Chains A and B, each alone.
Chain A
Amino acid sequence: MNQAATLAAPPSLHPALMTRRSLFSPQAWLGLLVAVAFLAVLPMANLVFAPDHPLHISSYAVALLGKFMCYALAALALDLVWGYAGILSLGHGLFFALGGYAHGMYLMRSIGRDGVYQSDLPDFMVFLNWKTYPWYWWGTEHFAYAWFLVLFVPGLLAFLFGYFAFRSRIKGVYFSIITQALTYAAMLLFFRNDTGFGGNNGFTDFKRILGFDITAASTRAGLYWITLAVLFGALILARVITQSKLGRVLTAVRDSESRLRFIGYDPLGFKLFVWTLSAVLCGIAGALYVPQVGIINPGEMSTENSIEMVIWVATGGRGTLIGPIIGAGAVNGLKTWFTSVLPEYWLYCLGLIFVLVTLFLPQGIVGLVRRIMRHREERRV
């Protein structure tokens, strides 16, 4: 009996492994909610206060922030595949643009007869002498169907491409170059007026969405809040995935795919899942982007845009989920400011960001902040 009493208690496991991990630490939750609340209040300042009130925020700023949030969503999507699965895609702009075009088709339909030519067809079809909509425009006058396309088209394309690419085990730089080729080919295709998507003009001159006037401040605010909600939701979803077992497998893919294979996992399914999910999220981002910016054109599919997306993720900190959001905001904010103040030097700045971040800040802004804080903690100890 004594022996039983003197038996040491079984060694306890680290608390982190014992309890079911919650998504974010309480402090992180607090920070997130404060940020969301702050962002949500901004359009109120635009709607409630008159233009000369000192607290008024111009419609320009609201539209700008809405655009940044769409970019942030796209960056988040890219981080899922790059930061967590190690798949560098240089063609995510394609999914972004496809989602944008799908939603754009609905918006073009809603113009009705208010276009320049007062015809049932969009202006660009009139000057091409087309008499009816091509088959792939069928059904796009319905909002629900257009949104189905927003989810389905990027997803399907990603699924097919990913299936064949991952099955052939195309990796690393080759994969990145192939994604670049894909977006470049799509861009060439969409630049053709004959393809039926407005060619170089793209879709523009939108009038209304779901019956609301698209230029009204209230509609703009509404779109802003929806984007904010979707971004927040996507962040939660991404966090859930990366914290789960699936997330662990993904990081294993990133760190050493061959070893993972040797252990007995088939990475194909995991990679395909996260790749398709990322494409769908990117498509949603594009679809939310189009009504806020008022135009979509094949330039969104250019290789430069896709590579810029990568630098948002890298600047913010890949593999951290919150990093890409910050990175997208920071780089685009810098770009907006620079191109007004010193337009001739903006490209130098952007180029330097690319070089310096990859050389000196491989973990991005978030990584830098963490390093500083760890440094402080160590010094305290």
Chain B
Amino acid sequence: MKRRLVLKQLTAASLLAMSGWMPQLMAAEDTIKVGILHSLSGTMAISETSLKDVALMTIDEINANGGVMGKKLEAVIVDPASNWPLFAEKARQLIAQDKVSVVFGCWTSVSRKSVLPVFKELNSLLFYPVQYEGEELEKNVFYTGAAPNQQAIPAVEYLMSEDGGGAKRFVLLGTDYVYPRTTNKILRAFLHSKGVKDSDIDEVYTPFGHADYQTIVANIKRFSTGGRTAVISTINGDSNVPFYKELGNAGLKATDVPVVAFSVGEEELRGVDTKPLVGHLAAWNYFQSINNPVNTAFIEKWKAYAKAKNLPNANTVVTNDPMEATYVGMHMWKQAVEKAKSTDVDKVIAAMGGQTFAAPDGFTIEMDKTNHHLHKPVFIGEINANGQFDVVWKSKGPIRAQPWSPYIAGNEGKQGL
């Protein structure tokens, strides 16, 4: 009888081990596998689920146009559940187990930093579509989101200009993690270079998921009595909703103290009543309200896709900057693969530099030849009562990224890989 127990244990253990072999035993079709590494549950699901859907839509579009080098693309979706260690594990699974040729994924800088060692070790490719703090340049990553000089710095320049309100005092309000910390470090140095003193800068951090902004809004009011004030908000994700609600209710209007946010887009505004927020700002490289044929087609495609696939709330889906970046990144990767005539990572990396694409933001943007970042135009938009943004300023053309910010000491020598 005990022997049977031992036999049972052995069987169970070997079954467990075999589960690791199973995927390899399954017949492989002639497709190119594309990994999608976005959180579908947890705190980041709010922002990342739509990126997964846009990626799938783009794959369908590419397949409908003949695929890549004649082969169809096949999506491999995993859910790292907003859990950073799980991101690393899922990345390893996608590359080592599922043998994907490229991964589109990540949102928070933490998730990107935790998967980076995996991509370096296994020499695979990651396309990262979200605005971030810079201070990074990896051979295995292509950054299709904005670096600080493509988002944060132009936004502060606008705030200091007459059109933006001529702000003299600044409240740097952010969630406590690497992106706001680094961005604020860069902005502080930038403000110093423009003659703003430390006594006119107030830096405040709140944890993820913080919901009670009463004290902070009262402090902003008090701070603003010292001179024309603007708030630069790097609050992440869903903490923006209680912050804006408190702002609106406390009567702090955009004409008194404008707030520019870097992590608030059309998707985040879906959960807010925007009437009290009219006039507050956001800075991105794309807005849904930009009027041009490519964008109109992009929005139509996305709405049709949402309805066809019965996504939740399909009637009110919106497009935003990271979605556009995913779309552009995927097309550029396809172009690079076709140019390199192979999905081999090193060849594709070499072929990516210089790729161009007519993007929904209205410009033909280019992947820089050396620094793995896109040249992106900058738009500053004001929130309107419909949850969309009215563009109030835009750069003349795409701006080249500076991943190593010149405002941080020690970056002078670094520009390329």
User: Given A42, A191, A206, which contacts B207 in the complex, CB threshold below 8 Å?
Assistant: A191
Q: Which residues of B contact A336 (CB under 8 A)?
A: 89
A333 touches B16 (CB 8 A): yes
Q: What are 13 A-B pairs with beta-carbon distances under 8 A?
A: A27-B2, A27-B5, A27-B6, A35-B9, A57-B21, A61-B17, A67-B89, A116-B135, A188-B207, A200-B176, A206-B117, A293-B85, A377-B1
CB distance from B9 to the nearest CB of A (A): 5
Q: How far is the CA of A42 from the CA of B10 in the complex (A)?
A: 14
CB distance from A316 to the nearest CB of B (A): 12
A343 touches B79 (CB 8 A): yes
Contacts of B66-91 to chain A: CB distance below 8 A: 77-79, 81, 83-86, 88-90
CB distance from B2 to the nearest CB of A (A): 3
B190 interface contact, C-beta 8 A = no
Closest to A339 in B: B79
Of the four ranges (under 10, 10 to 19, 20 to 34, 35 or more), the interface on chain B belongs to 35 or more
A 293-305 to B, binary, CB cutoff 8 A, 1 in contact else 0: 1111101100000
B109 interface contact, C-beta 8 A = yes
B181 interface contact, C-beta 8 A = yes
Measuring CB to CB, which residues of chain B are less than 8 angstroms from any residue of chain A? 1-3, 5-6, 8-10, 13-14, 16-17, 19-21, 40-41, 77-79, 81, 83-86, 88-90, 92-93, 96-97, 108-110, 113-114, 116-118, 121, 133, 135-136, 176-178, 181-182, 185, 205, 207-208, 410
B135 touches A57 (CB 8 A): no
Q: How far is the CA of A269 from the CA of B85 in the complex (A)?
A: 37
Q: Which residues of A contact B178 (CB under 8 A)?
A: 124, 127, 193, 199-201
Binding site secondary structure of chain B: helix
B181 touches A297 (CB 8 A): no
A245 interface contact, C-beta 8 A = no
A127 touches B181 (CB 8 A): yes
A 205-239 to B, binary, CB cutoff 8 A, 1 in contact else 0: 11000000001000000000000000000000000
CB distance from A371 to the nearest CB of B (A): 13
User: Given B17, B89, B108, B117, which contacts A205 in the complex, CB threshold below 8 Å?
Assistant: B117
Given contacts A31-B9, A34-B10, A205-B117, 16 further A-B contacts (CB under 8 A): A27-B3, A27-B5, A28-B2, A38-B13, A60-B89, A61-B17, A61-B20, A124-B178, A188-B207, A199-B178, A199-B181, A202-B110, A204-B114, A215-B121, A294-B88, A336-B89
A 80-124 to B, binary, CB cutoff 8 A, 1 in contact else 0: 000000000000000000000000000000000000110100001
Q: Which residues of A contact B14 (CB under 8 A)?
A: 38
Query: Looking at B20, B88, B136, B207, which has the most chain A CB atoms within 10 Å of its CB?
Result: B20
CB distance from B83 to the nearest CB of A (A): 6
A200 touches B6 (CB 8 A): no
A192 interface contact, C-beta 8 A = yes
A58 touches B20 (CB 8 A): yes
B113 touches A343 (CB 8 A): no
Q: How far is the CA of A296 from the CA of B84 in the complex (A)?
A: 9
A295 touches B85 (CB 8 A): yes
Closest to A27 in B: B2
Q: Which residues of A contact B20 (CB under 8 A)?
A: 57-58, 60-61, 64
Q: Which residues of B contact A300 (CB under 8 A)?
A: 85
B5 touches A373 (CB 8 A): yes
A57 touches B17 (CB 8 A): yes
Q: Which residues of A contact B77 (CB under 8 A)?
A: 343
Closest to A54 in B: B21
CB distance from A299 to the nearest CB of B (A): 6
- Given A193-B176, A295-B114, decide whether A25 and B2 contact each other with a Cβ distance below 8 A: yes
Q: How far is the CA of A336 from the CA of B81 in the complex (A)?
A: 12
Q: How far is the CA of A299 from the CA of B39 in the complex (A)?
A: 15
